[in-house]
A and B are shown apart, each in its own frame.
Chain A
Amino acid sequence: MELTRKLLINNELGLHARAAAKIVSLAGNYKSTLCLGRGDHEADGSSILSILTLACPKGTEVWVKAVGEDSEALIEALSRLFEQKFGEAR
């Protein structure tokens, strides 16, 4: 099953290495594959380096796409991670 959703980067620092690492390790817990992107620039959800190349500051909207049997759960968990500003205070 394929699921796509748009998410907003809300933390002060934007999508930097620490946040990218959290996305990768979260996605690692699911069977579905994850990719995300900004406009037509697409990144592999299993690679921090690939996610970093999106270079998203605070306020950027990205799309996330999960493909697989547990795609819904993955997207839900991912939405929460974005909402919680990747666990950062600001």
Chain B
Amino acid sequence: MKETHKETVKRLKGIAVSPGVVIGKARLVDRSRVKILYQYLVDERQVSREADRFKEAISAAREQIIAVKNKMPEQLRKHSFILDTHTMILDDSMFCNATIQTILSEKINAEWALKKSVQNIEKLFAQIDDRYIKERIVDVEYVAERVLRNLAGKEQESLSEINERVIIVAHELSPADTSSINIGKVMGFITDVGGRTSHAAIMAQSLKIPAVVGLETVTHHVQEGTLLIVDGYAGEVIIAPDDEQIILFQEKQLQRERYESSIIRLSHLPAETVEGHRVAVRANIELLEEVVAAKDHGAEGIGLYRTEYHYLRSANLPAEEELFEDYKQVAEIISPSPVTIRTLDLGGDRISSEIALTKEANPALGLRAIRFCLKEVGLFKSQLRAILRASAFGRVQLMFPMISGVQELLDSKAILEEVMNDLDREGHEYDRHIRVGVMVEVPSAVAVADLLARHVDFFSIGTNDLVQYALAIDRVNEHVAYMYQPFHPAILRMIRQVVEAGNKAGIDVALCGEMAGDPLCTFILVGLGIEELSLNPLGIPIIKKIIRTLSLEESRKDLEEILDLDTATKVRDMIKAKMRPLLKDLDQQGLITSYNNQEKRALRHG
């Protein structure tokens, strides 16, 4: 994070997760803990009054929780059990009675006594082995926080009560916060923590409001009502800007809007190179709500529908019916273009308590994705049923993640066949000839791509994991993250090998990792012969525009040269040199930054 002082004006740098620029007043959403002071009560009367004050705070909390429950929209009602749990915690003897006992026996204030009870409960929960039950301590803490706020006379804020146009400033936003937002009133949000795939980021994108996350300390620098400029392209926030900066920003914003709408206007055009070679540009999405934005940005289908959301959002596994409805709607909205649905790409450690698994030392190499599904056949079949049934309502393609060899693919296809037979028997309609593909992201799959190609209709190269596994780099590990290099000659050769295997077998080859959305990669990928790029919907207009300026023939020629280079740095330098005129144009408009801050910085310094 960069921080410069210029009088009282501060600029903070974070992660741009949703584009756009807004200028507006800050609204601090206080999710911080109430400060607790120790107080010894001298007077007996004070002690009994303190106990009463605590009981009142408890009953006020109960009423608040019931009110929240009653206000819950119909479709969320099935999750209301969590609120019942909260009222039960309020009444629990370890929570309520224990605190009253402490107030009376130790003659201390209610806040401190409650803190002691919570600490006791925390101690007990810390000894629990079961991960899911252990995490329930957050419910206890949440309820305690509510009671403490009542004791302090502070209201727990709800974002649905905001009634003027503001920029939300928070340490962190929970799904509960973002889903209760009064959409018309919020101009943008900025948070201390969070990343590109945090729930707040996805919500901001679908609401089309700018958001910057990972600002680390923004809540310390901003006060209620402070004027802010949020730059969702550059991932920058300017706190208390002066007039000059405001004017500058407004001009910049106008310029961007003009330029962006000019590309978006053209985004429905096919992405064809100057020779007329067509590349399909599709969208990676995670939520049903993103399909419309994907279409608006010119997506010719959904190239990767990630299905993890339904498995992560609640403690119980999703029902087949719930999945079917969701997949069916995506298929219908995007039709006649196709949607590629990827089966569950998670490990048991991330899913509900229904499948309790022991902790793994190395989850990236552990029981996850297709391996997990082949073990939990019931869960896998239920998802396959939902996908197949949805295939009756549009062009659905099915993709297995993390396939490492032919046996795994055959095992998966055997289960698919069983599910098809079940559906036949039950008389369900579905597409018997559904196109089935594998995500190529494990290096061993690259090595046997020719063998895999005999059994599938398409490949989709998942470069994020491929780079990680091929270069033995954990991106999240700060000590080696710099070695995460998509331009590594090994990666380019692997992509070429997959494309060649696909071409030989006559199947389609797509690419759906972050490389697909990186303007610097576009011409290598086109030159390599990738037929479909699937990326973040917001990046589609730019990638299409770049493809329209490329010549397939020249890209191929340059590629020969590039594939001969021996380091990632040399590859990057050559690409930058070749693409400079085009990238400069985009960079000046500030358009590259929204997708790839790092590349832009490299471009400026390199």
A residues whose Cβ falls under 8 Å from a Cβ of B = 12-14, 16-18, 21, 24, 44, 46-50, 52-53, 55, 57
Contact = CB atoms under 8 A, between A and B. Distances in A.
B68 interface: no
A17 B128 contact: no
Contact of B136 (A12, A14, A52): A52
Contacts of B89: 48-49
Nearest to B129: A55
A18 B81 contact: yes
A18 B133 CA distance: 11
Contact of A53 (B93, B128, B353, B354): B128
Contact of B88 (A12, A14, A21, A50): A21
A55 B81 contact: no
Contacts of A17: 85, 133, 136
Interface in B83-141: 84-85, 88-89, 92-95, 121, 124-125, 127-130, 132-134, 136, 140
Interface string B138-168: 0010000000000000000000000000000
A48 B132 contact: no
Contacts of A13: 353-354
A57 B356 contact: yes
A68 B133 CA distance: 31
B92 A53 contact: no
A21 B91 CA distance: 11
Contact of A48 (B88, B125, B127): B88
B124 A53 contact: yes
Contacts of A24: 88
A81 B127 CA distance: 27
B127 A53 contact: yes
A14 to B, nearest CB: 8
A53 B125 contact: yes
Contacts of A57: 130, 356
List the 3 shortest-distance A-B pairs measured between CB atoms, nearest first.
Answer: A55-B130, A55-B128, A47-B93
B130 A21 contact: no
Nearest to A18: B81
B120 to A, nearest CB: 10
A65 to B, nearest CB: 17
A21 B354 contact: no
Interface string B543-578: 000000000000000000000000000000000000
A55 B88 CA distance: 18
22 contacts: A12-B354, A13-B353, A13-B354, A14-B353, A16-B353, A17-B85, A17-B133, A18-B81, A24-B88, A47-B92, A47-B93, A49-B92, A49-B94, A49-B121, A50-B93, A52-B125, A52-B128, A52-B133, A53-B124, A53-B125, A55-B128, A55-B130
